[in-house]
Structure 1
């Protein structure tokens, strides 16, 4: 359980002519912050939810939310309910943690699943009655191309995104009769700070272990990928997510970024052994443990 979150700024009352209201999680940085900014610019009444409420952009109402804290999730949902509910939920909050599975303790795996899967879905579960009361709405879940395949040193991250998409498919079927749409967006590599943090942890965890060589190779691959033309800017990724959130007739899934669609096709269609050889070559894995 985390420390007590900072006090939230009171939500302003809704005007008589109700504006469309969006809740954006992870609104203090990266994609979530950029999505909140674009929705504000488009005329939405935006509630930005995050642990660091002071980093939520101007124009959005700040609301404290820690997805690892059940009470924080309940307080967030209750405050949204008390002030009229929302028409749109954009679940951007997430975490990436790179480490070999052998060196990832159960509590570390659970923390990643909590932030990327269980926490967001619990918040959405609590918001569904208000969405029904409003006669419908839209839920946008930020997944990843990583949902379609697995790569070394990121098994629990891939698992969290694959599970998020599985749950989204069930949710889409369950809430469609109430006029609630569920959309998944699948970014590829995006210029966000979490990547650097994840690679720093990978280096720390694998240093001096049998995984040090391959851990370094994986880190080098991701650094090269982050500097490649295939990387999507935060602004472009946010624009694609806002489109998925606001277009009249959305698709159920939106790959985001150059090469994203192809990466998912390859991950889902190649035979396992072929995919393994391709992945080992792509990441520059040695095939030999450190001694």
Structure 2
């Protein structure tokens, strides 16, 4: 009987030790070193926790270094005090230039504390000190603030969808593409014909004759610019211009010319009618 009891005790101890080792391995492999690491606390203040909860992750540049231990209202104002437990081995990285912000991770929108280490040469903070709050807004805050603008963008997308749906209806898009291809083909033919015409023109063009023509044209333009000849005088002499304007179109001249012309026309018509009456039997 005693041998049996000793055997049972040994088996029981073996099972207990095995279970303890199994649990310890789970804790170590799972990354939960609560019982193996020493933690120190830091605090931060924020006007809103934005869904942050006790146990939320505290991350330093993307590496998990602790968890949120407590959330409570501040005594003197409406801000919320956030108490964070951080592994002691990262204490030297929490300096006076370190800032924290509340961010979102994952598709479910879980909140966590993101620590920006700042300058590592800064003064290390003592345990229980407050970490500065980085006021940069989270993505969800930006979406909430710009909700109306995103709504307008959604309306634009809907209108574009309606437009494309209308264009695609009754094979309009296919017809449009066919017309564009036809226009493109016609333009291609036109460009080729124009190119061929210019090529033929260059082939038939005599460089000497063209140069001589351009030389004569240059001489004519030079003479006009210098005031030679009638055309040059008209272009360069403003006196001739004003005289011609008074004769042909000035209001003062027309005031006298028009009555004289009308009177002459009437006299001519009267003489013509008298001749007609005298010749009639």
TM-score normalised by length of structure 1: 0.19
Of the two, which has the highest radius of gyration? 2
Higher RCO, 1 vs 2 (CA within 8 Å, ≥6 residues apart): 1
Which is helix-richer, 1 or 2? 2
TM-score normalised by length of structure 2: 0.20
Which is strand-richer, 1 or 2? 2
